[in-house]
Amino acid sequence: MIKKKRVYRTDKTVNPIIGALLFLISIVLLAISGPLGFVYGFFHSLFKKGFKGIGEYLLKIAISVDQLGNVIMQHLLNTLWVKKGRYNFGNRDETISSALGRNKKLGTLTAFGNWIDKFLDTIDPNHSLNSIDYYIEPTDQIIDKLAWIHILDGRILMTRTEGRDRYYIPGGQRKDGESDAKALLREIREELSVEIEIDSLFFLGIFEAQADGQKPGVLMRMTCYTASYQGELLPADGTTEIVFLRHEDRHMVAEVDMLVFEYLWEKGLLE
């Protein structure tokens, strides 16, 4: 059974005065306790794991600083490193390198942004692409979807809803407090009239691309699972058509679904 370890929700609206006050408190605490905590952490890591422990400790700090920089410098980076149709810097749960990688995939880096990316690649090959974090909190630029991958005789189950020309992998979004398993069970029951067997859920992967029908820079992040089911596949809840498509039919699906098609084809699971 697959259980989600973290549930993400968008930030609540905060009084700006409270925000300013909390900022000042955090700065004071950091100035007082930061140096002491760093020294203690350094020697604790040294005695526990030697130089390897120090390296791991410093890497954690570097990632946290990177996340802080993504928030502090968001407006500057959005001006200098990326262009129209971009994925914005500024998600507090994400590093600068991760946002840089997303814009590299979208092709929205400026000349300066491309130079920064190439410089990082000389230090660590494919640094920004490998830094993309698919577990960050959803924002207005990231649509988080769960998807059920069902393959029969080398073809993948796809659906089409009323008013749409493209086919989509069945699934949907979580409701507050739902695990991946419960959300996918509910969505597939509503969409296809069958019951997913929870105990058979198997995580396949996370895929991300420009969201279909959304403005440039809005991404669809799709977490995919395979699973057995009980019942008869029947269209429901706005689903007008159920089909099984091959790899050669990928031009009929959304961008993120194309990535899934390519992945399954490379694995020899799709004709």
The secondary element (H helix, E strand) that includes residue 195 is strand 195-196
pLDDT in tens, 218-245: 999 999 999 999 999 998 877 889 999 9
* Mean pLDDT computed over every residue of the chain: 88
- The predicted pLDDT at position 6 comes to 43
As to burial, measured by CB atoms within 10 angstroms (0-12 exposed, 13-18 middle, 19+ buried), residue 222 is: buried
What is the C-alpha separation between 139 and 67, in angstroms, rounded?
16
Rounded to two decimals, the pTM is 0.74
pLDDT in tens, 82-91: 999 999 999 9
- The predicted pLDDT at position 5 comes to 40
pLDDT in tens, 23-44: 787 778 778 888 888 888 888 8
For the record, the structure tokens of 241 come out as 């058509």
Residue 13 three-state SS: coil
> Which residue matches tokens 């198997």?
202
At residue 12 the predicted structure's pLDDT band, cuts being 50, 70 and 90, is low
